[in-house]
Amino acid sequence: MAFNILLVDDSVTVRAVISKALHLAGVDINLLYQAGNGQEALEILEAEWIDLVLCDISMPIMDGETMVARMVDNGMIRTVPVVIVSSAGSEPRIQRLKDMGVRDYIQKPFTPERIREVVDNVTGVASHA
């Protein structure tokens, strides 16, 4: 199964690194969308079919925590899996986000293997090596 994946991070470097890691991990990608903040991500989520969101926490305009809160409000968090990819992953905050419906957390720096492990767990589909 090929996934439509949305990367949400204000750093073009991080979006490039995650994109590369997804390919190295053998994750089957149909379309890869990118957003620089939570607001842009919500607009893409309203317009496109997304199978998985990989999202940073600290971003200008709208941070990841606010974006997840909006997805709770509109019910999208129940149908679109969100995984946090961040270096600001303090345990209290990660627990708050998981309580809101976030599926998993990837701490930066990460390996392609860690990306694959989480994608497999969240989507329930084993990626191709």
Binding footprint of other proteins on the chain (CB under 8 A): 10-14, 16-17, 20, 57-60, 86-93, 107-109
User: End-to-end distance of the chain based on CA atoms, in angstroms?
Assistant: 14
State in angstroms the smallest separation of the CB of 95 from other proteins: 10
State in angstroms the smallest separation of the CB of 40 from other proteins: 15
Nearer to other proteins among residue 109 and residue 124 (C-beta) = 109
Nearer to other proteins among residue 101 and residue 112 (C-beta) = 112
State in angstroms the smallest separation of the CB of 35 from other proteins: 15
Coil vs helix vs strand at 35:
strand
Nearer to other proteins among residue 74 and residue 87 (C-beta) = 87
Residue 61 vs residues 35, 39, 79: alpha-carbon distances, Å: 12, 7, 24
Look at phi and psi of residue 124 and say left if phi exceeds 0, alpha if psi is from -120 to 50, else beta: left
Nearer to other proteins among residue 15 and residue 103 (C-beta) = 15
Alpha helices in 1-129 (DSSP H): 12-24, 38-47, 64-73, 91-100, 112-123
State in angstroms the smallest separation of the CB of 27 from other proteins: 17
